[in-house]
Every structure is written in C-alpha cells, then in structure tokens.
Structure 1
Amino acid sequence: MRWPLACVLLGAALAAATHGRLWSLPERHNPWAPLRYADAPNWLTRYKLQRLSTQPQACMALLAQTPWRFHPVPDRDNAAGCGLRDAVQVQRTALDIGRPFTLRCTAAAATALWERHVVQPEAQRHFGMPVRRLEHLGSYACRDIAGSGAGRRSEHATANALDVAAFVLEDGRRVRVAGGWDDGGSSAAFLQAVHRGACGLFSGVLGPDYNQAHHDHFHLDRGPFQVCR
C-alpha cells in the first residue's frame, strides 16, 4: 500500500472515530466495506484487492458474486519454489475461455473486475458489441521469468498470473494482441485501452511495448511489484 493511500485510510479512521454515528462513509468509499463485483472500480479497489490476498474466504465470496464457473483447488508447494495457495480452477469466466486455467483467488478477482468493468465497456465503445470469448496462453507454470536466468521465479510459478492473447467479439471477429496492438485502427485502440485499464487492477501488466517475449499477449499478475508497460 502506498503512503498517500495509507494516510487517507488513517484520516478516514480518525474521522470515523471522532464523529462516531454522526458521520459515515458511503459504502463505495469505505475502505472496510467488502469489494463487490458489480461496483465500478475506484480509488480504493487496488487496496481492497490487496486486502483479499490475506482474506481467502472474502475473496471466494467475491468470486461467488460472478457468473464464473470455478472450484477451489488444494494448496500445494514443492521444493522447486512453485505451488498453489488459495487458488481456483476456472472452467469459464463471464466469457468462454476454451481450456480451463488455475489462478490464485486474488488474481482471479482482478480478472473478473477487468472483464466486467474494462474489457466489455471498451468493446462496446470501440466495436459496438461485447466480447464473447477470451483466448489465453495459460496461467500456472513452474518456471522462471523469461530471460532472467535461473532463480527468479515468474508469478506464473504460483498461479498468480494470466497471459491473454486475444478477444473474440460477438460477431466472431478476433482481436489479437499480436498484430493488433499497433495496427493504427480500432483493434489497437481497444487493446491499448484494456491494457491501461488492467493497470488499475493488477500489479504487473506487460504487453508488446515491454519486450519481444510479450509481443503476442498481455501478462497480468498480482505480484509484489508495480509495473505497467
């Protein structure tokens, strides 16, 4: 949590303690109110997502508000520094996803909010229709960060990242990160908008402008480092 937000939360706490029942925060701007799937993201959403990482039951309750089909998977660790904790296997999000993927609950919650409040509104704005299918390159993989050398585990190694390659619109058109990112048309405008929107919900957002390894997909993670490239 960054210091400016910490100060705001402290101020809210002091005000609430000072005024008691004479003063209360609207639920959307109350840092202690649960995060809700239907509510548009605001200045507190990133903080609330971070809080869910230590509240697995609350995270599962958020996913239960979505139309997703998923089930929890058992925690597991291994000697290679990979494993799962508070994760779900997802058969379907609000969209068709083809093959299932496994994500930590907080990353899944961020994905659910991104689909509803970023991807679909931007699809309507740029194409006049919704997205019906999300094409992905996977989530959990016990591996290092590409090109980093041995010992630097990727967020994929703990099911904390999802790679998104394309979006299929209601009319069947396929909007691919590869080739579409800088085509100068509506595909580029849409892809760049959903990339920007992801930066408000995920910790790590990497795309074609980051490096060649990401020329064909968006890497979305809820890791400890903040990066939007």
Structure 2
Amino acid sequence: MRGAIRIFLVFTLLAVVIIEGAAWMQRHRQDMPWAELDLTAPPGRFTAAKIAGLGEDAPRCRALLAAAGNQSRPAPARRPSESCGYEDGTLLSLDIAPSPGGLVTSCPVAAALSVWERQVEAESQRLLGTGVRRFVHAGSYSCRRLYNRTDGPFSEHATADAVDILGFELADGRRLSVLRDWQGRPEDAAFLRAARDAACRVFSTVLSPDYNAAHRDHLHLDTANRGPGGWRACR
C-alpha cells in the first residue's frame, strides 16, 4: 500500500512539473531558440539573433512584418559593388516615425525597429510621462568601412543593416538629443539609456556614448548576423 502511495505521489509531482513547465514555456516562448519569431511579442533571449537571421530570407521577413501589422514596404534593390548595397531594402512605416522621412533600411532593421518602438514608447510613458512622436536619425545605408577607414572591414551601414539614432521628438513637443541629453536632466538621461537598453534586446550591436567618443552623439543599432550563438554587443 505504501509503495502504491509513493508511486502515486511521484506521478502527481511529475504531472505538476510538466504542467507548470509547459505554462512557463508558453509565457516565455520568445526565450526558446526553436520558437517562431513573433514581432508582436515582447523580445526574448533569442529575439535579436532571430531578427538578424531574417537577412537570409527577405520574403519571410516581409511576411513577419505584415503579420505584425507593420506597413513598411519594399524599396528598390541597390547593389553598386560586391561589398555595398542591399536586395531587401525596406521603406519604413512606423508608429514612431523616422525624421527625416523616407528612411530605407534592410528588412531585419525594419523588423527590429518595429519591436523596439513599442519598448521606447513604454519607457517614455514611464519615465517622462509622455509618448514619442519621432526618432531623429543620421541614416542607414552608407557604402563605407568601419569608422570611415580606407581599409578593413565594411560597416553594417554598407548593407543598410544599421541605423544611427540622434534623438527623439516627444508627443508633448520636447526634443531629446543623445549629444546634449545623455548627461542632461536625470529623467531625460534615464530615458535615453532605457531606449539604448531596449535596443539591446532586438539588435545585434548597440553602441552609445558609453562606448567611445565616436558615438557621443548617437546610438548605433545594427543587425549583424553572427548566428544563433553569436556574440552581441551592448555598450
């Protein structure tokens, strides 16, 4: 009788563990490497790598954007050289609009921005008590090497897999600049860092004024594809 009771208790415990484990996995699907990428879900541990991987499958990238309700649309391909250009150019359409408008990025960057903008809006409401109307940028595509050197690796900008963020225009009319406000009022500085940290969850590389002087006036965000187990930078 005691043996039967022990067996019953063991199976009951296993059932509870399985049920709780399944519920946890459902709540944290984006933390699972095998889960399908969902651009409407909060970013998880593997979201950035999955987004970067979309650079190898433009049709899937565009389908995921459409499924998320994003109105970004394809832009003409651009391939001036073997090292520069893109086939998956995407004309951005976001709730937080790019300024100036007409910004074209690679599709993975568009996908990452579509997730990031929701995090930025939430942080702005939490820290500043207002929403974000626009993000001010310094462009995406630029056929150049890292730090504009004459030799060495090409920048992710050379394939439109990067975008530089200069600041934000808030819904109440205020403007925040990375250059001016990174060390400005505590609440403004906190928001800019929160925007940087949110980007770290969806981009492969995020570089800010905390990294070096070359990034004193902007946040560099890119979707370099380093594979599922590849390194990421958030500084």
TM-score, scaled relative to structure 1? 0.80
Check if 1:220 corresponds to 2:226: no
Check if 1:89 corresponds to 2:91: yes
Rg (Cα) greater in structure: 2
The 1:203/1:82 distance shift into structure 2, 3 A limit, reads same
- Give, in angstroms, the shift of residue 68 of structure 1: 4.2
Structure 2: distance between partners of 1:111 and 1:100: 15
More helix by share: 2
**Letter matched to residue 156 of structure 1:** H
1:100 to 91, 99, 102: 102
- SS across alignment from 2:56: coil
1:8: which partner in 2?
none
Could you tell which deviates more after superposition, 79-88 or 119-128? 79-88
Structure 1: distance between partners of 2:82 and 2:214: 23
Could you tell which deviates more after superposition, 185-194 or 55-64? 55-64
1:122-133 correspondence to structure 2 within 5 Å = 122-133=123-134
1:46: which partner in 2?
48
- SS across alignment from 1:205: strand
RMSD of aligned alpha carbons: 2.3
1:192: which partner in 2?
193
- SS across alignment from 2:108: helix
**Letter matched to residue 137 of structure 1:** A
Structure 2: distance between partners of 1:27 and 1:76: 40
- Give, in angstroms, the shift of residue 71 of structure 1: 2.0
Structure 1: distance between partners of 2:129 and 2:76: 41
- Give, in angstroms, the shift of residue 161 of structure 1: 0.4
- SS across alignment from 2:97: coil
**Letter matched to residue 53 of structure 2:** R
**Identity rate, percent:** 40
The 1:169/1:183 distance shift into structure 2, 3 A limit, reads same
More strand by share: 1
- Give, in angstroms, the shift of residue 147 of structure 1: 5.2
- Give, in angstroms, the shift of residue 97 of structure 1: 1.8
1:17: which partner in 2?
none
1:55: which partner in 2?
57
The 1:96/1:73 distance shift into structure 2, 3 A limit, reads closer
Contact 2:49 2:204 (8 Å CA) reproduced: no
2:160: which partner in 1?
159
Aligned length: 206
Q: Deviations over 1:121-154 (max 9, x none)?
A: 1101101121011111111111121154424211
Structure 1: distance between partners of 2:132 and 2:27: 30
1:26: which partner in 2?
26
- Give, in angstroms, the shift of residue 155 of structure 1: 0.8
TM-score, scaled relative to structure 2? 0.78
- SS across alignment from 1:166: strand
1:150: which partner in 2?
151
- Give, in angstroms, the shift of residue 32 of structure 1: 4.1
- Give, in angstroms, the shift of residue 218 of structure 1: 0.5
- Give, in angstroms, the shift of residue 28 of structure 1: 5.1
- Higher relative CO (Cα under 8 Å, sequence separation at least 6) belongs to 2
Contact 2:103 2:139 (8 Å CA) reproduced: yes
